[in-house]
Chain A
């Protein structure tokens, strides 16, 4: 393959955030009219790298070169001026405006003091024509599908004259047919000389569409390869890394008693798409079942449906042999399901309330937090003190507001208040996300301890070390379904990686 002219070069980029090294001498080199994929796990530093290119972040050190010239972008505006455009994963569209209005907003053509709607429409239609995209400029965005919305975002960028297009996980939100349409569009764009950088986890797609691949892991560029020279399995291994953590070697505490049985659980997104489908598995007493999977494959929806926060459209839940499918969230909680929520600020804490009230959340009708209809302040304070002590929550007292605690201590409080009343099932969603190493070790130890004592635990995590280190059974969630059941003791990066990225499914289908 002949060497294309380099239009984007990122050299030795380093970027740190407080406590995190996001990019560590990372590289990226993209040729003219190339479709260049950047792959890596969650937190591998892909987003940071492209945000630096787009001017949303400034690097601590390193060089950014666009079309051969060194540039120092201070904001996306500078990047746009250099012909770079970015389509974010979360669309920035106004639903109640038309497609045309969304596209021209901020760069409106005028005729006198009026909008030049005809001119804008002509320009959009001719761009559509040029790049082979289908868009009706006069419909409201709210009537459009996700794929069409993405096309608007791309058109917004093209309308502003971009020739280098960054797409942040463009296929994550699309259904397969839309993915095909997107790829057709990308090919057309490429043919017209547009350079495309796209971030993805889905290796089969990456291999289908891209001309070059940059693999990132832990903030570093670990490989730059051509799709023809590599198999999906090897790529998965590069992404996940060759040194998987070893599982917990202590004696298994898994018993024969099924504590939570989930049968055929199915639920929908608010827009009617299937969120999770036909989920079936058991958790035994003394067992940790780990859910592995790239984010956006139905993890939060699974948690919500088990808790009853989201209605199931099919399936059943049995807790210790008792059918709890018809129970509301409160009853499920009172039956003994504990939850360490994924987002502690949105789902777990009352930031402006004292610790003891936070400890009460979810236990508000149980002793010792309540007595009849009354809140038992003394009881609640006492047991919160116990939580603080037993789980090593660093705080001046139980009357300070939760907002005053560090993330790690907030998390230890949540873990503590869920464990203190000995639930029979605990759902732990990303229990150590965003907390320091010390707190992480403490949380892990608490989970192990609870398992030894016979608790059934569902662990959802994006951290492979945590998943493999703690789980007795590993289930892989892909596209809302469980696609594999693995034994953490003999799982390889290749098998795990290929299941998580959907490669294995494709291969089985063949």
Chain B
């Protein structure tokens, strides 16, 4: 058991080391001292303001990663998190800015609208897959692009407060629909309060999403059926699990979580859906899910790592070091981590099979079947 956990850690460590190695080479190639660069990054990132910023950056990545991971659990690829969260944020922002409610309910309504719209958008792909056999990867990619048009259309024609404005936006969220910041936590633990950055309160909801994800996948019957269909569809069918239902439910849940990706920024900072709303979080979320191997804590670490790199990139820029080196690290780490996991998984499997065949004389299947 310990050996197995050890192997699971080896893969990301090897991959990350390799990625840093590539980054070192890249930095050397442009004449920068890598040690100096990494030192700068670390020093800069360890201030309270940076910590708050890192967490703020990692929250949406984490939520996106969870959305992707739930699909991965049953070998479903939701490449459409990108479109789902943007469409969801648009409608949630519009609804939130258009109604009047008491504070907690107002936030709740915004969150529910976001989750609902995200689920619907992903549900289209799920429905097409179970009814017409359309591959979910292609369908969600197409839905991403359709989503971008939907956003432009509604923002430009219906939802915008000032359709002539350069940066169109939905009506601003009233204070009742905003989630207050959490900078007091820093003072509570005796650190200096971050300046110019507010630790977004949505982080608590993100943690709840992470816990909910873990419980759902590992502690509920549904999660068991989900994982069983992913691991062995044949056995799951024999056990009475309906594969089509599972696909549809999984897409709906994945999309529902994806719908909440943009809320941290919207409810905690921008207070509206704007034309320059942060994009690309869905794709980065896929990377984080791969990095954290669909594990609730692993993905949290992965998201923080990405948040750290993005934040600390700022200081490189100020020192005339190409900050884009962090993107290289991100790209290389994702690619090498999937390769490393694959290799490790094969080693583990071979070892387990070897143990199994050592333990018994008669092989598990007759020779005819083996060679047929």
The reply to whether A and B meet directly (CB within 8 Å) is: yes
Q: Hey, which bits of chain A sit against chain B, CB under 8 A?
A: 17-20, 22, 42-43, 47-48, 51, 56-57, 89-90, 307, 309, 328-334, 339, 341, 343-353, 357, 360-362, 364-365, 370, 373-375, 377, 394, 399, 401, 403-410, 433-436
CB under 8 Å from chain A, chain B span 207-250: 218-225, 227-228, 231-232, 234-242
A406 to B363, CA, bound (A): 8
Q: Are B234 and A346 in contact (CB under 8 A)?
A: yes
Cβ contacts under 8 Å, A365 to chain B: 221
Instruction: Considering the complex, give the chain B residue whose CB is closest to the CB of A342.
Output: B238
Q: Are B361 and A18 in contact (CB under 8 A)?
A: yes
Partner among A43, A331, A339 whose Cβ is within 8 Å of the Cβ of B368? A43
> How many interface contacts (CB-CB < 8 Å) are there between A and B?
149
Cβ contacts under 8 Å, B370 to chain A: 17
Q: Hey, which bits of chain B sit against chain A, CB under 8 A?
A: 1, 218-225, 227-228, 231-232, 234-242, 349, 352-353, 355-357, 359-372
Q: Are A410 and B240 in contact (CB under 8 A)?
A: no
Q: Are A436 and B362 in contact (CB under 8 A)?
A: yes
Instruction: Considering the complex, give the chain A residue whose CB is closest to the CB of B236.
Output: A361
A361 to B237, CA, bound (A): 10
- With contacts A373-B220, A434-B362 taken as known, whether A352 is within 8 angstroms of B231 at the C-beta atoms is yes
Shortest C-beta distance, A441 to chain B (Å), equals 13
- With contacts A43-B366, A434-B366 taken as known, whether A373 is within 8 angstroms of B372 at the C-beta atoms is no
- What would 9 A/B residue contacts be, using CB atoms closer than 8 Å? A43-B368, A309-B237, A346-B232, A347-B237, A349-B232, A361-B235, A364-B241, A407-B365, A436-B362
Shortest C-beta distance, A338 to chain B (Å), equals 11
- With contacts A47-B368, A349-B232, A364-B221 taken as known, whether A435 is within 8 angstroms of B237 at the C-beta atoms is no
Cβ contacts under 8 Å, A394 to chain B: 359
For the complex of A and B, list the 7 residue pairs with the smallest distance between their C-beta atoms, beginning with the closest. A406-B360, A330-B240, A407-B364, A17-B367, A19-B362, A362-B239, A329-B240
Instruction: Considering the complex, give the chain A residue whose CB is closest to the CB of B364.
Output: A407
Instruction: Considering the complex, give the chain B residue whose CB is closest to the CB of A372.
Output: B221
Interface centre among A347, A349, A353, A360 (most CB of B within 10 A): A347
A504 to B241, CA, bound (A): 41
- With contacts A350-B235, A360-B224 taken as known, whether A375 is within 8 angstroms of B352 at the C-beta atoms is no
Instruction: Considering the complex, give the chain A residue whose CB is closest to the CB of B365.
Output: A434
Q: Are A341 and B238 in contact (CB under 8 A)?
A: yes
Partner among A89, A361, A436 whose Cβ is within 8 Å of the Cβ of B239? A361
A423 to B196, CA, bound (A): 66
Q: Are B361 and A19 in contact (CB under 8 A)?
A: yes
Q: Are A19 and B363 in contact (CB under 8 A)?
A: yes
Q: Are B224 and A375 in contact (CB under 8 A)?
A: yes
Q: Are A332 and B367 in contact (CB under 8 A)?
A: no
Cβ contacts under 8 Å, B369 to chain A: 434
A20 to B223, CA, bound (A): 41
- With contacts A20-B367, A364-B221 taken as known, whether A436 is within 8 angstroms of B237 at the C-beta atoms is no
Cβ contacts under 8 Å, B225 to chain A: 364
Q: Are B364 and A353 in contact (CB under 8 A)?
A: no
Partner among B223, B240, B365, B372 whose Cβ is within 8 Å of the Cβ of A334? B240
Cβ contacts under 8 Å, A357 to chain B: 224
- With contacts A373-B220, A407-B362 taken as known, whether A364 is within 8 angstroms of B234 at the C-beta atoms is no
A407 to B356, CA, bound (A): 8
| Other contacts beyond A47-B368, A330-B242, A364-B228: 19, CB < 8 A | A17-B363, A43-B366, A47-B371, A48-B367, A345-B364, A347-B234, A347-B235, A347-B238, A353-B227, A370-B221, A373-B221, A373-B222, A403-B349, A404-B356, A406-B356, A407-B362, A407-B365, A433-B366, A434-B369
Q: Are B372 and A90 in contact (CB under 8 A)?
A: yes
Shortest C-beta distance, B193 to chain A (Å), equals 41
Instruction: Considering the complex, give the chain A residue whose CB is closest to the CB of B349.
Output: A403
Interface centre among B220, B225, B362 (most CB of A within 10 A): B362
Cβ contacts under 8 Å, B360 to chain A: 406-409, 436
Q: Are A48 and B361 in contact (CB under 8 A)?
A: no
Cβ contacts under 8 Å, A407 to chain B: 360, 362-365
A56 to B355, CA, bound (A): 27
- With contacts A403-B356, A408-B360 taken as known, whether A350 is within 8 angstroms of B220 at the C-beta atoms is no
Q: Are A350 and B232 in contact (CB under 8 A)?
A: yes
A330 to B244, CA, bound (A): 14
A449 to B104, CA, bound (A): 61
A333 to B242, CA, bound (A): 13
Cβ contacts under 8 Å, A377 to chain B: 219
Instruction: Considering the complex, give the chain B residue whose CB is closest to the CB of A331.
Output: B240
Q: Are B367 and A22 in contact (CB under 8 A)?
A: yes
Q: Are A348 and B235 in contact (CB under 8 A)?
A: yes
Shortest C-beta distance, A169 to chain B (Å), equals 11
Shortest C-beta distance, A20 to chain B (Å), equals 5
A54 to B220, CA, bound (A): 52
Q: Are B362 and A435 in contact (CB under 8 A)?
A: yes
Q: Are A18 and B362 in contact (CB under 8 A)?
A: yes
Instruction: Considering the complex, give the chain B residue whose CB is closest to the CB of A46.
Output: B368
Cβ contacts under 8 Å, A404 to chain B: 352, 355-356, 359
Instruction: Considering the complex, give the chain A residue whose CB is closest to the CB of B348.
Output: A352
